């Protein structure tokens, strides 16, 4: 995570701002709806109506960006069918299986290495581990790595057997696509291959969705300049890589993050 202090900073007050943020709503509670809605976007599920959406609208615009960056190796849902040889897209299926295998490797090995490398506090590490354990796409009472592994390996074995039965050419297409899926989703360090330069900003904005939602409803209305000031302690301690108001305005415009207040015009 890049640090971008904006002017002088009071380290103790900035750290207190971060602690206060997580006391207001714990990390797991913040990210549970985010991960659930992100998964629906990746899977191409039915889009919720405005009344049904549990998150502010800008979050869904970030999900679209993440789908095109982090998850660009993943095929679209309509490409996936496994049955008749004429209908099966072995390239798409192989990429999906490869990405799944890489995720298992991350959960089994890379995650612990990253935690040690980043030197996260015990309390924060426990929260991250718990967040992964109860990922929304599986029952909260089941271990996602164990059950996820069972599903991925079952699919891997079934598709390999089916492709091999349909000829060496089909089998070669499948295995080649699996290799693309493994290398196209995460690198050897456990970092997402398609990560954009704004990833740090996007994830922070997803993390603070409760505060942003409250600000969007506030009366009298706030402006993006007010929001910029609210972000200052988090930027100064390196939690979000926003350097100035113009950069924030660009990000807000790109994901349609709006506040009702009228701010000062952008500098030419």
Tell me: pLDDT of 1 over 50: no
Inter-residue contact 95 to 72 (CB < 8 Å): no
Would 106 be classed as within a structural domain? Answer: yes
- DSSP 8-state class, residue 69: T
Would 147 be classed as within a structural domain? Answer: yes
* CA distances, 3 to each of 76, 90, 174, 241, 246 (Å): 35, 43, 42, 6, 18
180-234 pLDDT per residue, tens: 988 888 888 777 777 777 888 999 999 999 999 999 999 888 999 999 999 999 9
**Residue 197: Cβ within 10 Å count:** 9
What the block records as the tokens of 9 is 């900073």
Of the candidates 64, 68, 60, the residue with the CA atom closest to the CA atom of residue 193? 68
Would 142 be classed as within a structural domain? Answer: yes
User: What integer best gives the mean pLDDT of the chain?
Assistant: 78
Those residues with Cβ within 8 angstroms of residue 19's Cβ, 6 or more apart along the chain or in another chain = none
Inter-residue contact 95 to 75 (CB < 8 Å): yes
Would 36 be classed as within a structural domain? Answer: no
Q: Give the separation between CA 45 and CA 37, rounded to whole angstroms.
A: 9
Q: Give the separation between CA 142 and CA 202, rounded to whole angstroms.
A: 29
Q: Residue 147 is part of which domain span?
A: 73-185
SS percent in the chain: helix, strand, coil, step 5: 65, 0, 35
Q: Give the separation between CA 174 and CA 93, rounded to whole angstroms.
A: 7
Q: Give the separation between CA 206 and CA 199, rounded to whole angstroms.
A: 11
pLDDT at 197: 76
pLDDT at 141: 44
pTM of this structure: 0.70
Instruction: State the total domains in the chain.
Output: 1
What the block records as the tokens of 47 is 């889009």
Q: Tell me which of 25-34, 172-181, 257-266 is least confident.
A: 257-266
Inter-residue contact 247 to 267 (CB < 8 Å): no
166-180 pLDDT per residue, tens: 899 999 999 999 999
pLDDT at 216: 92
Would 121 be classed as within a structural domain? Answer: yes
Q: What is the mean pLDDT of residues 74-94?
A: 73
Would 181 be classed as within a structural domain? Answer: yes
**String of b and e for 228-264 (b: at least 16 CB within 10 Å)?**
beebbbbbbbebbbbeebebbbebbeebebebebebe
Would 11 be classed as within a structural domain? Answer: no
- DSSP 8-state class, residue 76: P
Q: Tell me which of 45-54, 160-169, 255-264 is least confident.
A: 45-54
Tell me: pLDDT of 6 over 70: no
**Residue 88: Cβ within 10 Å count:** 19
**String of b and e for 94-129 (b: at least 16 CB within 10 Å)?**
bbbbbbbbbbeebbeebbeeeeeeeeeeeeeeebbe
Would 110 be classed as within a structural domain? Answer: yes
Q: What is the mean pLDDT of residues 58-75?
A: 87
Q: What is the mean pLDDT of residues 53-68?
A: 91
More confident residue, 141 or 12: 12
Q: Give Cα 33 to chain centroid, integer Å.
A: 12
Tell me: pLDDT of 90 over 60: yes
Cis peptide before 69 (omega within 30 of 0): no
Tell me: pLDDT of 156 over 60: yes
């Amino acid at each position: 995570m890049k640090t971008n202090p904006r002017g002088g900073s009071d380290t103790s007050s900035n750290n207190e701002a971060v602690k206060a943020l997580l006391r207001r709503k714990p990390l797991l509670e913040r990210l549970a709806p985010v991960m659930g809605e992100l998964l629906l976007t990746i899977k191409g599920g039915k889009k919720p109506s405005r009344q049904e959406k549990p998150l502010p609208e800008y979050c869904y615009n970030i999900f679209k960006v993440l789908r095109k960056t982090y998850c660009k190796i993943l095929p679209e849902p309509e490409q996936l069918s496994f049955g008749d040889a004429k209908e099966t897209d072995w390239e798409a299926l192989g990429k999906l299986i490869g990405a799944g295998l890489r995720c298992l490797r991350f959960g089994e090995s890379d995650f612990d290495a990253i935690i040690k490398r980043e030197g996260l506090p015990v309390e924060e590490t426990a929260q991250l581990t718990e967040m992964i354990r109860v990922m929304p796409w599986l029952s909260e009472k089941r271990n996602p790595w164990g059950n996820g592994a069972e599903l991925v390996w079952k699919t891997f074995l079934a598709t390999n057997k089916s492709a091999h039965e349909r000829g060496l050419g089909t089998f070669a297409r499948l295995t080649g696509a699996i290799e693309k899926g493994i290398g196209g989703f995460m690198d050897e360090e456990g970092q997402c291959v398609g990560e954009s330069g704004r990833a740090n900003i996007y994830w922070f904005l997803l993390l603070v969705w409760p505060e942003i939602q409250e600000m969007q409803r506030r009366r009298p209305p706030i402006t993006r300049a007010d929001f910029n000031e609210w972000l200052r302690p988090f930027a100064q301690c390196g939690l979000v890589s926003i350097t100035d108001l113009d950069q924030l305005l660009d990000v807000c415009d790109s994901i349609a993050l709006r506040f009702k207040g009228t701010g000062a015009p952008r500098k030419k």
